[in-house]
């Protein structure tokens, strides 16, 4: 099944708004605090305060996502600055070149990566999801529509299910308690583990026939159990990546994932072979270790370590994080390579345990701890502290500024 997803304006409008909001938030390093989606008349300069450099970045990002540059009309984005103008330019371009879309990864393992997909491949997954979620009447979304997870579940899937854009609601600006009060039988709620964890705390008793979806990061078993105890019909976990889109699904946290039928393990599990719509086969490298129960079922077994270079030496940020996590004052930690404008060493973000709120003292303590267990190239040179590890709105790990 294939369709021109942009022909229902509400879907394209939401994609444009989500991209602009996300890019401005990243550029300014603070949220815009404007409920989404925005009105058609929202002006990028007058209402959002975008300057010339921001406008150039926004236009480039939208052109890259929707391939507007292939139509040769990307300059109109800098001349017409209301949201409805950008939707119109995108619509005109998509009618000429609408067979591809390029998503960006979260950059959780380094700089964001561009991942181009053809609509025909995305529709392979939608054909499976349409059967999984038949009978849904509304979609309530806590994820952005311009990332691959949100695009599949809040743009392509509702149209495959016959759900109009007016029946797709953005709940990111509402509290989890408000979501619970708004739920109706037949709803499909699209979230991520952190979102579901907050919903579980306030769920109480949910209406019958409400289904949830989670992706973007591992969902704790306790969250799935709590949601089922509250009356959620099922919480479907989707496993995949920006590079591959969905690979498999499960609705029981104790069970392995069921692999989508067009995927097959290859190279002793280091890659997947995908049966393309035209019958050809393509190879995709995996970002995660998968343990295969049989040819159709697998369990994730952790991310493949991403090696980075520090001073010409190969180091593994995950190993540095493991050493630091062993300190009794550390509740959680992530380590990654600095951004290009920050330096070329490792940095750490630490969630301290209660009673260890003195950041300066803890930074000195952890530096001494790391010196005992890591070589010079492996040691983070800066420590940032917070109540939770940094994450994006879709629940995926995010970078932080030191």
Confidence of residue 335 (pLDDT cuts 50, 70, 90): very high
* Ramachandran bin of 395, using left for φ above 0, alpha for ψ from -120 to 50, beta for the remaining angles: left
The lowest-confidence range among 57-71, 161-175, 385-399 is: 385-399
pLDDT, mean over the chain: 91
The lowest-confidence range among 47-61, 138-152, 368-382 is: 368-382
Q: 146 and 291: one domain?
A: yes
The lowest-confidence range among 153-162, 261-270, 379-388 is: 261-270
> What is the predicted pLDDT for the residue at 349?
97
Q: 88: domain range?
A: 5-98
> What is the predicted pLDDT for the residue at 110?
44
Mean pLDDT on 303-327: 80
Q: 146 and 48: one domain?
A: no
Q: 352 and 209: one domain?
A: no
> What is the predicted pLDDT for the residue at 108?
42
Token reading at 86: 């950008």
Token reading at 268: 């002793």
Q: 367 and 276: one domain?
A: no
CA distance 238 to 241: 10
Which range scores top for mean pLDDT: 35-44, 283-292, 302-311, 315-324?
35-44
CATH number at 337 reads: 3.30.300.30
Preceding amide of 37 cis, omega within 30? yes
Q: 232 and 123: one domain?
A: yes
Does residue 1 surpass a pLDDT of 60? no
Q: What is the pLDDT of residues 5-49, one digit of tens each?
A: 999 889 999 999 999 999 998 888 788 888 898 999 999 999 999
> What is the predicted pLDDT for the residue at 109?
41
Residue 207 near residue 188, CB atoms below 8 Å: no
> What is the predicted pLDDT for the residue at 107?
46
Residue 397 lies in a domain: no
Token reading at 214: 């989670």
Q: 183 and 324: one domain?
A: no
Neighbouring residues of 131: CB distance < 8 A, sequence distance ≥ 6: none
> What is the predicted pLDDT for the residue at 303?
67
> What is the predicted pLDDT for the residue at 305?
55
CA distance 140 to 269: 35
CA distance 217 to 20: 24
- Name the β-bridge partners of 274: 263, 282
Residue 109 lies in a domain: no
> What is the predicted pLDDT for the residue at 385?
96
Neighbouring residues of 396: CB distance < 8 A, sequence distance ≥ 6: 106, 108, 192, 216, 217
Q: What is the pLDDT of residues 61-103, one digit of tens each?
A: 999 999 999 999 999 999 999 999 999 999 999 999 999 999 9
The lowest-confidence range among 6-15, 140-149, 270-279 is: 270-279
Q: 288 and 370: one domain?
A: no
CA distance 229 to 348: 37
> What is the predicted pLDDT for the residue at 2?
67
Q: 233 and 91: one domain?
A: no
> What is the predicted pLDDT for the residue at 216?
81
Q: 66 and 87: one domain?
A: yes
Query: pTM higher than 0.85, yes or no?
Result: no
Q: What is the pLDDT of residues 221-274, one digit of tens each?
A: 999 999 999 999 999 999 998 889 999 999 999 999 999 999 999 877 778 999
Q: 15 and 154: one domain?
A: no
Q: 87 and 124: one domain?
A: no
For the chain, the domain total comes to 3
């Amino acid at each position: 099944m294939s369709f021109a997803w942009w022909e229902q304006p509400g879907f394209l409008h939401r994609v444009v708004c989500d991209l602009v909001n996300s890019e401005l938030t990243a550029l300014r390093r603070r949220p815009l605090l404007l409920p989404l989606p925005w009105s058609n008349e929202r002006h990028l300069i007058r209402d959002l305060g975008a300057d010339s450099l921001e406008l150039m970045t926004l236009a480039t990002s939208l052109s890259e996502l929707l391939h507007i540059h292939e139509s040769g009309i990307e300059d109109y984005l800098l001349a017409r600055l209301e949201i409805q103008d950008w939707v119109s330019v995108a619509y005109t371009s998509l009618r000429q070149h609408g067979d591809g879309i390029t998503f960006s990864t979260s950059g959780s393992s380094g700089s964001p990566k561009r991942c181009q997909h053809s609509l025909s491949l995305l529709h392979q997954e939608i054909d499976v999801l349409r059967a999984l979620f038949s009978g849904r009447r509304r979609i309530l979304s806590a994820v952005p529509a311009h990332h691959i997870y949100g695009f599949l579940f809040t743009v392509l899937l509702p149209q495959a299910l016959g759900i109009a854009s007016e029946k797709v609601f953005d709940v990111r600006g509402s509290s989890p308690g408000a979501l619970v009060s708004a739920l109706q039988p037949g709803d499909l709620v699209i979230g991520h583990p952190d979102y579901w964890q907050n919903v579980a705390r306030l769920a109480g008793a949910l209406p019958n026939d409400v289904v949830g979806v989670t992706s973007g990061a591992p969902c704790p078993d306790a969250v799935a159990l709590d949601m089922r105890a509250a009356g959620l019909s099922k919480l479907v976990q989707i496993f995949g990546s920006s590079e591959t889109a969905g690979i498999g699904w499960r609705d029981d946290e104790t069970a392995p994932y069921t692999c989508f039928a067009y995927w097959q393990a290859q190279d002793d599990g280091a890659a997947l072979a995908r049966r393309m719509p035209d019958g050809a086969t393509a190879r995709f490298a995996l970002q995660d270790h998968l343990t295969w129960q049989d040819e159709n079922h697998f369990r994730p077994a952790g991310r493949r370590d991403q090696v980075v270079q520090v001073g010409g030496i190969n180091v593994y940020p995950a190993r540095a994080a493991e050493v630091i996590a062993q300190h009794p004052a550390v509740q959680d930690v992530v380590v990654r390579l600095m951004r290009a404008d920050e330096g070329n060493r490792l940095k750490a973000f630490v969630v301290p345990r209660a009673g260890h709120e003195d950041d300066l003292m803890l930074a000195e303590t952890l530096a001494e701890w790391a010196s005992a267990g890591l070589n010079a190239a492996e040691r983070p040179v800066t420590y940032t502290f917070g109540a939770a590890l940094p994450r994006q709105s879709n629940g995926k790990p995010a970078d932080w500024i030191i």
